[in-house]
Homo-oligomer: A and B are copies of this chain.
Amino acid sequence: MAVYTHVRPAELDAFLAPFGIGPVTSFKGIAEGVENSNYLLKTDDASYILTLYEKRVDPADLPFYLGLMDFLANAGVRTARPLKDKSGALLGELCGRPAALIEFLEGVSAEPPSTIQARATAKAMAELHLAGASFPMSRANGLGSKEWAGLLKGVAPQLEKIEQGLREELEVNLKETLASWPHGLPAGVIHADLFPDNVLLKDGAVSGLIDFYFACNDTYAYDLAVMINAWCFEDGEFRSELSHAILEGYQSARPLSGDEMKALPILAQGAAIRFILTRAIDWINRDPGALVVPKDPRALLPNLRFHGTAKPSAYGAIGQ
């Protein structure tokens, strides 16, 4: 990322005062996340993540993200809990930026994921879907299926710089995907970005889902389709045992309907297109010296090709 806000101790102390936590014993900038400045902060009693929201996050969306994290944590879903200050606010200001203090969660990401980790994470996703159904706020998916044609149009002239034929492949696939896009499937709050690096695990159990900054209201099975893209391909090969574990884990908390199951290939194709498009945009606009190297959009082309010919049963079975 191009921005990393430097926080001085006096500013930090002023920000922290209303949270009533003990004196800071350690404070280190962490190199995670492309969108925000994150610090790991310790007191004698606990550890926290301090997040300063930089330009790429719309401040108007922060009450939704932080409210959702708080709501889900209270409902027993394993997510990082934002702290409330003495006035009950989840959001403060630090160095001229919106900022939040979030409970630190132990755990490491699954890289590469095991079936045990995939099953546990998918179950946590289903629990998020179930609990989120009573969350009172909503937020449209700014990167949902209705946005993809516009995104593709914007980036199309530069796609050939990434790979020859990429523009045509995406145009053909997007047309096919949108023509068959399912409507009326069960929908509600979804994570929308549940890649392995957004899940912390400890001893095979989920210690926390993190990074809710793409969360929105959309089709539940689309969230699962994102996860299948993010977890089930290794060096371009589909790892069916991981996908089966995901469907098993998810359905142990929320069984899929026949319509949801039938829609999986097209939802997964759409999810592949969504991430290829946003990665292509980041790739084209990357800072050559940035700390976080953008992900290669081409890494998802095998996914796109796989989903285009896959049958629903390739992903797993219904009602496990």
Interface, chain A (partner B; CB < 8 A): 1-2, 4, 8-10, 24-32, 40, 42, 106-109, 111, 200, 202, 286-293
Contact = CB atoms under 8 A, between A and B. Distances in A.
B8 A111 contact: yes
B24 A30 contact: no
Contact of A108 (B27, B31, B108, B288): B27
Given A4-B31, A31-B31, A26 B108 contact: yes
A9 B108 contact: yes
Contact of A111 (B9, B31, B289): B9
B27 A30 contact: no
A4 B111 CA distance: 18
Contact of A40 (B28, B107, B109, B290): B28
Nearest to A285: B289
Contacts of A111: 8-10
A288 B2 CA distance: 8
B106 A289 contact: no
Nearest to A11: B111
B292 A4 contact: yes
Given A29-B32, A32-B28, A111-B9, A1 B106 contact: no
Q: Which of A28, A106, A286, A288 has the most CB of B within 10 A?
A: A28
Given A25-B107, A30-B28, A108-B24, A40 B40 contact: yes
B30 A29 contact: yes
Q: Which of A32, A200, A289, A292 has the most CB of B within 10 A?
A: A289
Contacts of A291: 1, 4, 31, 290-292
24 contacts: A1-B289, A1-B291, A4-B292, A4-B293, A9-B108, A9-B109, A10-B111, A24-B108, A26-B108, A28-B32, A29-B32, A30-B30, A30-B31, A30-B40, A31-B291, A40-B40, A287-B287, A287-B288, A287-B289, A288-B288, A289-B289, A290-B290, A290-B291, A291-B292
A204 B247 CA distance: 55
Contacts of A290: 287, 289-291
Given A288-B288, A291-B292, 17 more contacts: A1-B289, A4-B292, A9-B109, A10-B111, A25-B106, A25-B107, A25-B108, A26-B106, A26-B200, A28-B30, A28-B40, A40-B40, A42-B106, A286-B289, A287-B289, A290-B290, A291-B291
Contacts of A26: 106-108, 200
A295 to B, nearest CB: 11
A208 to B, nearest CB: 11
Contact of A289 (B8, B24, B202, B288): B288
Nearest to A37: B31
Nearest to A24: B108
A111 B24 CA distance: 14
A197 B109 CA distance: 30
